[in-house]
Structure formats: structure tokens, C-alpha cells
Structure 1
Amino acid sequence: MNFIDKFIMPFANKLGNNRHLLAIRDALVGMIAITMIGSLSVLLNNLGAVPGIGKYYENLMVSIFGETWKTLGGDIWWGTLAFMTIFAVVGISYKLARSYGDDGFEAMLVAAACFFVLIPQVANVSITPDGGKAVTGGAWGFVSWNYFNATALFTGIIVAIAATETFVRLAKIKYLVIKLPDGVPPAVSRSFAKLLPGMATIFIIGLFGLILRKFISDGAYLNDWINKVLVSPLTGAVDSILFAILIVFLVHGFWILGLHGPNLLGGITTPLMTKLGQDNVNMYAQGVHDLSKYHVLAGSFLDAFVYLGGSGATLGLLIAMFIAGRKRHKQLLALGTPPGIFQINEPILFGLPIVLNPLWFIPFILGPILMTIIAYTSVSLGWVHPIVADIPWVTPAIVGGLLATGGHISGAILAAVNLAVSILIYLPFVIAQGRIEARKEQGNPPAQSTDTLNV
């Protein structure tokens, strides 16, 4: 606790007063209704994949709502999580502009336009006319939803900040401000006053995107280029404890910055781990009993032993909050625990929040890394049976370890041990947050400004 107070909190308070981080935090927290209903819709639509109860659940839903019972959940997901980046761009720009004294309305519209300027306008599609052959080629106006969901969130944050900073600064140049006569309605007058700054901002961002594609990224758009730069060091990775630690570190490091780590790295990790997992399944089906021949980092390894409650093993955080008696977060616990049991933790990531919250950096990253080391070592030494079955990512903790190892109790025990480890790691930080909030309530905040990150 002394270490946290002496070394972590000064750094947290310094970052907590940064206007950009405050804008990101406020925007993400303001999206809690969107992320919450989106997460619940995903949970309800995927419960049918959970072994044991899944079949009965699906039969119940079909008997009540019919064969198309997943339509509503799919529509809600499409209108919420599928466009998460767009909401973030608008929200961050609005909050950041307001911190400069601007009303924020024009800024958020300009930022949204800048984001759309930087995404592809052409996509390769395949069309099959009635009675004809399939035609494949580039078609204008087709945009992948991956440019709008959490996969592009980090790009959206960058664009929102860059566009807003440019717009606000240009709006302060008096030569770019158009002044209309006093008789003009105030709303019209304000819009024309920022006409040239808005146009100039969109032009500058668009020009940057063009220069990037022509001279830097070899034709790739901003989001694709960022993804390529971030994931390229992982090319040619193999089944090893170092690679496992690297993947877990990057996933959670990206999440802390607001980037959806699993989606970002999925292009590398998913094919690799799927192949290794299939190799294990084939060997298991052939009756191979020599555990040393099985891959360790394979298939659902991370879902079964590390991502307990979702990225960051946040089920351990929820339990730690229950243990510490965090009445202040009673409603958050009530909302976050049910989906957290099924590995959905957006309500905690953005509701506590953990994303861009310096206090949670260490447990959110250190916990999964330590759990990865424990799990990899246990499987490689033969203490725990390797992964031999693919499980849905929504499978609850401990149950997932049991099923992924083909029903071996060692898998459930390992998952339970890792869950206990995550609880012990999160507990001191939960207590630290309680002390910070107690100081604020007593009128003795840890920093001069009370408008800081919710740590």
C-alpha cells in the first residue's frame, strides 16, 4: 500500500489531470449504456454455445420467440458495439473541445467527418447475379464494419484528438472567423464563424491521409497501417512461453490504451492457435497418451486459463470488490457480474473504468501475465492436461478449464488457482481505490484538481 501511495499515485494524478485522457475517459464512460446493452445482447445470443445448458436454453428461446429469436440481439449488437468507434470519435471530440471552452458541437461533427475521410471507399466484393456467374472485383461504397467497431477504436481516438486540436486552434485565428451582422440568429452566426476552421481541418486531415498512403504506408489506410505496424513483430511466432507472455502483454497493453487487443492481434494469434489446437484435437482422437507431444499454447488456452471473466481476468476484480465490500460500486457490480461470469467485461472495462485509468495498469497487465506463466508451466510440465477441445469464449471460468482439457479435473483446478491469483493481485488496488475515495469524501483529495481519472 505504501508503494502504491508513493510511486503509483503521483503518476496517476499527473496523468489524471491531462485534458486528453479526461476527454477519452468521459466519452467512454458516457457510452456505458451502449456497451452494456450490446454486451448483454452478445451474452444472450451465445448462451446456446455453452455445453450442458446450451441445448436447453436454445430450445426454450425457440419455443418462446421462434426460430429467429437471435434477430433482436443481433440488431442491438449491430447498433451498439459494431459502431463503437464512431460513438467514441464523436464523444471524445465533444469533451475535448468543451475543455477548451468551445461548445463542442461543430468540433464533433468535423472530427467524425475526418474519421470517415481516412477509411477506404473501395472494397473487394463478390456478386452473383441470378442465373449468372460470380463476379469479383473492387466496388465503391463498400466499407467493412471492422472500421467502425472496437477494432478501430485506437485509430478513432487518435483521429478525434488530432482533428479537435486542429479545429480548436484554427477557430482561434481571427482571420479565419467569419462575422455576420448582429441581426443574424446566433446559431447561424456561430456556424459561419467556424466555417473556415472546419473546412480547413477536414482538408488537412484528408491531405495527411493521402500523403500517408502515397509515401509511407504503401497504399494502406491509417487504420490498416496502424494494425500492420503493431502486429508485424508477431509474424512467425511459435508455441513458447515467451510468445504467450508477449501476446498477453500486448493484448492488455492495448486494452489499457483503449484498443481492443484480441481483435487487433486476432489476425496473427487466431490462425496460429487454431492450427495448434486442431493438431491437439487430432492427436487426442488418435489416442496419443504422451502429453509431451501436445502443444501448450493451443486452441482455447487463454480463454480457459487466463481470460477468466474476459481480458484482464476481471472476474477476479469483481470478486475482490465483493470481498472488500465496495458499496460505492454496488450498481456496477450488479451490472457487471452476470456478463462477467460469461467472459464479457465491457461494463467493467469502461464502467469502472479500467481503460486509461493509471491505477489499474499494474494489476490488469501483471495478473494475466503471471497467470499465463503458471498455466503454461503447469501444462508443459505435465501437471495439467493440454487443451484438446475447443470451447466457446463465453464458457464460464473453471468450467472452461474442465471442458477444454477434455473433462480432466486438472484443467478446472488450474483455472481455479489462476482465479485465486487474480483476486489476490487485484485486492490491494481495490483497497487503495477505497482509500482514495475516502480522502475525497473527507475533503482531502490526493491531487489539487478533483477532475481526474476515476482512480
Structure 2
Amino acid sequence: MMGFIEKFIMPFALKLGNQRHLLAIRDTLIGMIAITIVGSFAVLFNNLGQIIPPYGRMMESIFGPNWSTLGGDIWFGTFAFLSVFAVFGISYKLARSYGDEGFEAMLISAACFFLLLPQTANVTLPIDEAASETVAGGVWGLVSVNYFNATALFTAIIVALVATEIFLRLAKIKALVIKMPDGVPPAVAKSFAKLVPGMGTIFLVGLFGVVFRMITDGKVLNDWLNTVIVSPLTSAVDSLPFAILIVLLVHLFWMVGLHGPNVLGGITTPLFEKTGAENIDLAQAGVQALGEYHILAGSFLDAFVYLGGSGATLGLIIAMIIAGRKRYKQMIGLGGAPGIFQINEPILFGLPIVLNPIWFIPFVIGPVITTIISYLAVYYGIVPPITAKIPWVTPPIVGGYLATGGSFLGAGLAALNLIISTVIYLPFVYAQVKIDSKNKTELTKDSDSVSV
């Protein structure tokens, strides 16, 4: 099995993990972590008033009936413009990977994203103050927030990648580069050097937008993508088979020394960010129907599966304390504190788990089992869905509580999964201790016979 993975899977995984476009997407969404976390916590604090009524009454008595305005403003400044941030970041990261400064590419891509949006919104307005009669129609200059938030994230990714590629390729054509005299300031000379490529990129994308609307009877790119690609893809992603597949691949990559979440991050990060952001938007809107929320969303794996890091290795550390405290005293001390904050490289490479067939079953199968349990618990409404983004270093159980909007059921599910992981690891810890003791005894006998 290990030989098959090393021969056939590792080369593909290395290429996938180093693919510049996927890296640009992953690094951008990870770099937006401050924006997404503060926005999700703002929603969390606002909704705690409904979950814990005394908290809501206390906040209202201190700050007045509009105490949640701050949280709403923070959400609007973060999640409401998630796709806009993504366009800037992805274009910048991709251009930098080609050796470009990235500034002009970033602005050109943003312009291309905006010009593909609808310029008119349908509104209904009252004719008089009594609002007895209304008039409906299109108003130019109004754009729905759905074209800026997570709903447009895939459109933002595609536009950023395509516009940046067009811009950089046009910039390599010498005939399109304007060279200014030597006396012109460097900043001005650089701007004019890429003037024609920038104009050409915007013109080509704009022409595409016009032709696309003609072909699709006025439908803009984002609406078409959501209908044809994004909605079916999201439904497939938000499924138990997909969850199992992702967790299985992550841990198979780890077993051969590859950082599983990083290898697959270019694919999984935008998917989970989108579903997680949509859940947060639903929570901000006060939606109570659990069927409207995604299950495999945002911090789902960090909150319920990666307890102590990939492989739920905090359960392994607890199993070591129970079954092999003397044998693994140094390893417990080395990996215990980092494990509480989901950092498990000391265990993965120090034990080691990587390239060690003995730990293959609990390290890979354990997270698959807890993924199934967690998915079904949310699916059947036993545990609330993910409605807040948490840092991946959030300690287990605490992460389950925060990610589910302050639900003790979320904390309970994380605690249950931690217990299950510990139980799965225990027999293997006992077996490893016996193997080590047997090897030590045989080595002692061999040394004694040599001495004699």
C-alpha cells in the first residue's frame, strides 16, 4: 500500500500542491482569515442573544435596543464583500507567482469583475407616504449584495485567474509595451509600460460579458455559473461521500509525509469557505430552518474531526497517557501542549506516524468514523450546523462550541469524537508498547550472548 502511494499518488499530489493557480486561491482565502473570523464572531455574538435570552436582555439593558448594530456592521464590512476581497487577493498572488509586482494585475482583475456584474436591480418603491400604491421596475446603479458576498465567490475566483492570465500574457508582448523616456519617474514609466495590456484585458473581458449576455438572454456570468455549475457542485460537496473522500485523502497524504490539508487546500478551501460563509449569512439573517444550512461547511472538520490536528492525534496522546505513560513520557511532553492547539507535527514526525504502517489504521480510519458520526449528527438535527468560523488552532471541544454558534451540543459532539478517537488508538498503543518491550528484551538477550 505504501509503495503504491509513493509510486503513483505522491507525484500527482506534489504537482497538485504546487500548482500556482490553486496556491493563489488557497493562500488568498487563508490570508483573509482575520476578515472571516471577525465577521463570523460578530454574527455569533449577535445571535447569542437568541440562544441565551439573559445575555440578550443584558446587552439590551446596557447598550440599548440597537446593541447588535455593531455586529451587523462588522458582518457587512467583511462577509458582504467576501468575493471582492478574493478577486484582489487571488490576482495579486497569482501575478506574484509569475514574478510580476501584482499591483496592476490586481486592479485590472477587480475592474473585470465589476464590469461583469448586472448594473440594474429590480426594486419596488411606494408612490406615496401611505404606501397604498407601489411601482416596480429596474433602477440603474443598484447591485445586490449577493454579487459581492460568498454567493459570487466562484465567479470571483474564475475572473481573477482568467483576467490575470490575459493581462500577464499581453504584458509579455513587446509591441504592446510603451517605453517612456529616461527622464520619466520610474512609477510613471511602469504604469505606462502596462497601459495597453491593462486596457486590452478590460476590453476583452467586457466584450465577453456583452456576448455572453446576448447568448444567454441577458443572464450575467455569476447567475449562469450558479445555475449550471456552482449549485450542483455545492450539493455534491455537501454530502457524506465527499466528506469521507476528503478526510480519507488528507490522511493518506499525511501517511507518506505530505501535508494533506495543504495538498488539497486549493480545492477544498474555496468550497468550504463558500458553504461556511453562506451559513454565516443565514445566521445573520436569523434563518431558523436547519434544512437551509450546509452541513460540510467552514470549520466543520476543525471543530469535529481534526481534534489535535489531522488524525485526531489528541486522542492518541490521551491513549498514551492511559496505556504507555512511561514508554511515551517524552513524546507526551513534546506533543501534548501543541496538540491542545491542533498542532501535531511533533507527534506525526516524532513518534513517527508518517510512513509507519502500525499507525495506519487508527490514523486514517478514526477520522473517517468521526466524520460520519459528525455529519449524521448535524444532518438529523441533533447538533446545530456550523455558523461561525474559528481559527484552526482553537482547542477541541471549545472549537465545537464556538463553531456551532455557542451550542453545548457542538461541544458535546467534539468531546464524543475525542473519546472515540482515544478508544480507537488504545489497542494500537498497547500493541506498540508490547512490541517495544519484546524488541528491548531480544536486544538485551543478544547483547548478553555477545558479551559471553
Alignment TM-score, normalising by the size of structure 2? 0.62
Aligned pair in 2 of structure 1 residues 168, 244: CA closer, same or farther (>3 Å)? Answer: closer
> What is the CA-CA distance between 1:231 and the residue it aligns to?
6.0
Q: Distance in 2 between matches of 1:186 and 1:198?
A: 18
> What is the CA-CA distance between 1:185 and the residue it aligns to?
1.2
Correspondence 1:258 to 2:258 = no
Asked if structure 2 preserves the Cα contact closer than 8 Å seen for 1:313 and 1:422, the reply is no
Q: Distance in 2 between matches of 1:180 and 1:209?
A: 33
The equivalent residue for 2:158 is: 158
The equivalent residue for 1:146 is: 146
> What is the CA-CA distance between 1:219 and the residue it aligns to?
2.5
SS of match in other structure, 1:258: helix
> What is the CA-CA distance between 1:104 and the residue it aligns to?
0.9
- Based on CA coordinates, which of the two structures has the bigger radius of gyration? 2
Query: Which amino acid letter does the alignment assign opposite residue 46 of structure 2?
Result: N
Correspondence 1:8-87 to 2 at 5 A:
9-50=10-51, 54-87=52-85
The equivalent residue for 1:189 is: 189
Sequence identity, in percent?
A: 51
Query: Which amino acid letter does the alignment assign opposite residue 371 of structure 1?
Result: I
> What is the CA-CA distance between 1:421 and the residue it aligns to?
6.3
Asked if structure 2 preserves the Cα contact closer than 8 Å seen for 1:227 and 1:264, the reply is no
Aligned pair in 2 of structure 1 residues 31, 412: CA closer, same or farther (>3 Å)? Answer: closer
Q: Distance in 2 between matches of 1:197 and 1:10?
A: 36
Q: Distance in 2 between matches of 1:233 and 1:300?
A: 15
Correspondence 1:316 to 2:317 = no
Asked if structure 2 preserves the Cα contact closer than 8 Å seen for 1:120 and 1:143, the reply is yes
Q: How many residues align?
A: 348
Aligned pair in 2 of structure 1 residues 232, 223: CA closer, same or farther (>3 Å)? Answer: same
Asked if structure 1 preserves the Cα contact closer than 8 Å seen for 2:276 and 2:386, the reply is no
> What is the CA-CA distance between 1:211 and the residue it aligns to?
2.1
Q: Distance in 2 between matches of 1:423 and 1:232?
A: 38
Q: Write out per-residue CA displacement over residues 284-321 of structure 1, whole angstroms, 9 at most, x where no aligned residue.
A: xxxxxxxxxxxxxx748976xx77x8444633324557
Asked if structure 1 preserves the Cα contact closer than 8 Å seen for 2:82 and 2:150, the reply is yes
Q: Distance in 1 between matches of 2:122 and 2:246?
A: 29
Correspondence 1:190-269 to 2 at 5 A:
190-215=190-215, 217-230=216-229, 245=240, 256=268, 258-259=270-271, 260=273, 262=275
Q: Distance in 2 between matches of 1:77 and 1:364?
A: 36
> What is the CA-CA distance between 1:64 and the residue it aligns to?
2.2
The equivalent residue for 2:373 is: 371
Q: Distance in 1 between matches of 2:161 and 2:423?
A: 37
Aligned pair in 2 of structure 1 residues 327, 389: CA closer, same or farther (>3 Å)? Answer: closer
Query: Which amino acid letter does the alignment assign opposite residue 198 of structure 1?
Result: G
Aligned pair in 2 of structure 1 residues 26, 232: CA closer, same or farther (>3 Å)? Answer: closer
Asked if structure 2 preserves the Cα contact closer than 8 Å seen for 1:19 and 1:96, the reply is yes
> What is the CA-CA distance between 1:417 and the residue it aligns to?
5.5
Q: Write out per-residue CA displacement over residues 330-364 of structure 1, whole angstroms, 9 at most, x where no aligned residue.
A: 7788xxxxxxxxxxxxxxxxxxxxxxxxxxxx999
Q: Distance in 2 between matches of 1:49 and 1:16?
A: 42
Query: Which amino acid letter does the alignment assign opposite residue 202 of structure 2?
Result: I
Aligned pair in 2 of structure 1 residues 66, 9: CA closer, same or farther (>3 Å)? Answer: farther
Query: Which amino acid letter does the alignment assign opposite residue 122 of structure 1?
Result: T
Gaps of 5+ in 1: 238-242, 279-297, 334-361, 380-385, 427-455
The equivalent residue for 2:433 is: none
SS of match in other structure, 1:80: helix
Query: Which amino acid letter does the alignment assign opposite residue 53 of structure 2?
Result: K
SS of match in other structure, 1:125: strand
Aligned pair in 2 of structure 1 residues 106, 36: CA closer, same or farther (>3 Å)? Answer: same
The equivalent residue for 2:113 is: 115
Please, which of 82, 98, 103 is the counterpart of residue 100 of structure 1? 98
Asked if structure 2 preserves the Cα contact closer than 8 Å seen for 1:84 and 1:150, the reply is yes
Q: Distance in 1 between matches of 2:402 and 2:187?
A: 58
Query: Which amino acid letter does the alignment assign opposite residue 370 of structure 1?
Result: I
Asked if structure 2 preserves the Cα contact closer than 8 Å seen for 1:154 and 1:257, the reply is no
Asked if structure 2 preserves the Cα contact closer than 8 Å seen for 1:128 and 1:134, the reply is yes
> What is the CA-CA distance between 1:198 and the residue it aligns to?
0.4
RMSD of Structure 2 on Structure 1 (CA): 4.9
The equivalent residue for 1:286 is: none
